[in-house]
Amino acid sequence: MKNTRFIVILLAVVLPLFFFGLGKMALTDPDETFYAQTAQEMLDAGEWSTPIIFGEAQFEKPILYYWLVIGSYKVFGVNEFAARFPSAVLGVIGVAGVYLLGRLFFSSRTGLFSALILATCMEYVVLSRACVTDMALMVFVLFCMLFFLGGWIKGKRHLYFFSAAMAALAVLTKGPIGLFIPVVTIGLYVLLSRQWKKIKDVPFGWCALIFLAICLPWYITAARIHGAVFINEFFGFQNITRFLKPEHRIGTSPFFYFPVVLGGFFPWSIFLPMAAWHMYKERNAASRVKAHGLFLAAWFLVVFVFFSISRTKLVTYIFPLFPVMAVVTGRFWERFVAGAEDSVLRKHMKISFTVFIAVSIVALAGICLFVGFYKDQRYIQALSGTVLTGAVFAAGLVVSWMLFIRGRKSSSFYAIVLTVVLASFPLILRILPEIEKIEASKVLSLEVKKIAAPGEAIGGESDHCRGVAFYTGRTDIVDIHPFSSLKAFLSREERVWCIIQRKHYEQMVKFMPGKVSEPLFESGKYVVVTNKPGSEETGA
């Protein structure tokens, strides 16, 4: 009965958070449109073995996630909802996995709290609603760990086979990192816990066979079809080179992921330091609890240290450690709600909650100021929605704080969860549609699709090319970045169309006066122009 009640609570939280308005906002450039466009071209071409974009093979990621999106397209059609549907479903599965992990390690209530914490942290909500591979990798790594722990703790041999299968799916989603994280984590845990004798109970041979049977066929197929191109691009550049050399200007600092954890795990990141401290203090508790804390520590360290060392960094790379942070924080809340006699724990929870309220107020004020005064007030249309969302969140904080100071411990926790859910509605309905007009390529692309005659070339700057292709239905979009490419494109004899940043348009007007039209359409920082002023009518 308790488990049924917990499932109802979890579904009541995750369904609106992950699915409400899932297709309302345009796909964002460059990442969402990259995966969505690749899956669409594969579907159109009837291609199941090679990811293709702009008619060419690409090997940025393995095949599995594209298969998931293609399957969704077949059910729902090619649209934003379908592109994001696999991540939303996997988001629900990930929440269930953390519930099971918290229950396995500590208790059902720890599992519930951990699952709710994971479901309502900022980065998890964003990635459950995004057409990117990060949610899939996290879920497969999580269940790989979960099945391994089930075999390790309960002695159920068959669970190791499921663990191997999950590792294979992780490798089919993002490559070798899907095997690296669980293998190194488990190895470090065994080393630190000195449980050498239990190693002999793991059926390594059968696990290796299952792993290879699932993931090796695609890698062999890709290597046979594309040979050195696949090996050099996928293993050479996408895995080795990107680890050794920075691909982006951001992320070169080894401390890059500290603010990422603070922002991505918000609102629960404020409780994380004290939660981690009390998890560490439990090392003197029962050996079972000590071992579980050690496993979580090994998991966290492997992911955090590896990606901190990597020269290429993105905010989503450390997403596989979010289940760890959720369980650690969930355990902290569970002990507090259960009325732990540890006076230090109660004191630390009070400090954490006070800091949480203060940081939240400052963050809300900062976000409103940013939206209202950023540069040329680009986001001013989203200000009313931002204020409304902030008001809902602030009201929830007040209710949670009042419950907290009155000793309604569990109610104060659930109030934070409910606050996140309620604040998501004005965010989705009022803010995201305004952000779409400014940041996404959909509006511009649909305008170009209406005014460009068949066969006329369309150009877009690098980050926008994929979105322009997705929304125009064209795979021949010309990349007009850098400036020399834009100049050459607009110098063509035939009429062409460009979606470019306004600042680049202004530079081009000075460089080629009279050769570029006035902006025919503008959205955010982008404009639509042609090289044939005065002939903007379709077919002219």
Q: How far apart are CA 264 and CA 370, in angstroms?
A: 18
Task: Characterise 413 by phi-psi region: left (phi > 0), alpha (psi -120 to 50), beta (else).
Answer: alpha
Pairing mode, strands 478-479 and 457-460: parallel
Q: How far apart are CA 296 and CA 354, in angstroms?
A: 27
Tens digit of pLDDT for each residue in 88-110?
Answer: 999 999 999 999 999 999 999 99
Q: How far apart are CA 76 and CA 89, in angstroms?
A: 14
238, 60 in Cβ contact below 8 A?
A: yes
Q: How far apart are CA 273 and CA 327, in angstroms?
A: 13
Closest Cα to residue 163, out of 206, 225, 110? Answer: 206
pTM for the whole thing?
0.94
pLDDT of residue 449: 92
Mean pLDDT across the stretch 41-67? 95
For 517, phi then psi, to 5°, come to -70, 165
pLDDT of residue 539: 44
pLDDT of residue 438: 79
Mean pLDDT across the stretch 485-506? 92
pLDDT of residue 120: 98
Q: Which residue has the higher pLDDT, 372 or 459?
A: 459
Q: Which residue has the higher pLDDT, 286 or 466?
A: 466
Tens digit of pLDDT for each residue in 419-473?
Answer: 999 999 999 999 988 888 777 889 899 999 999 998 899 999 988 899 999 999 9
By CB atoms closer than 10 A (0-12, 13-18, 19+), residue 502 is middle
Identify the H or E element spanning 183: helix 177-193
pLDDT band for position 143 (cuts 50, 70, 90) = very high
pLDDT at 53 over 90: yes
Highest mean pLDDT among 11-25, 289-303, 522-536: 11-25
Mean pLDDT across the stretch 47-72? 95
Closest Cα to residue 527, out of 434, 454, 460, 435? Answer: 460
pLDDT of residue 234: 76
pLDDT of residue 193: 85
Tens digit of pLDDT for each residue in 159-187?
Answer: 999 999 999 999 999 999 999 999 999 99
pLDDT band for position 250 (cuts 50, 70, 90) = low
pLDDT at 537 over 60: no
Q: How far apart are CA 172 and CA 215, in angstroms?
A: 6
Mean pLDDT across the stretch 264-288? 85
Identify the H or E element spanning 457: strand 457-460
Q: How many CB atoms sit inside 10 A of residue 457's CB?
A: 18
For 56, phi then psi, to 5°, come to -120, 150
pLDDT band for position 237 (cuts 50, 70, 90) = low
Angle at 199 between CA 195 and CA 205, to 5 degrees: 165
pLDDT at 281 over 90: no
Q: How far apart are CA 436 and CA 446, in angstroms?
A: 13
Q: How far apart are CA 344 and CA 539, in angstroms?
A: 76
Q: Which residue has the higher pLDDT, 326 or 255?
A: 326
Percent of the chain with pLDDT over 70: 93
pLDDT of residue 283: 64
Lowest-pLDDT choice from 35-44, 312-321, 406-415, 417-426? 312-321
Report how far apart, in Å, the C-alpha atoms of 278 and of each of 290, 348, 423 are.
12, 9, 30
pLDDT band for position 268 (cuts 50, 70, 90) = very high
pLDDT of residue 287: 60
Closest Cα to residue 515, out of 540, 493, 538? Answer: 493
Q: Collapsing DSSP states into helix, strand and coil, what is residue 47?
A: coil
pLDDT of residue 378: 74
pLDDT of residue 540: 41
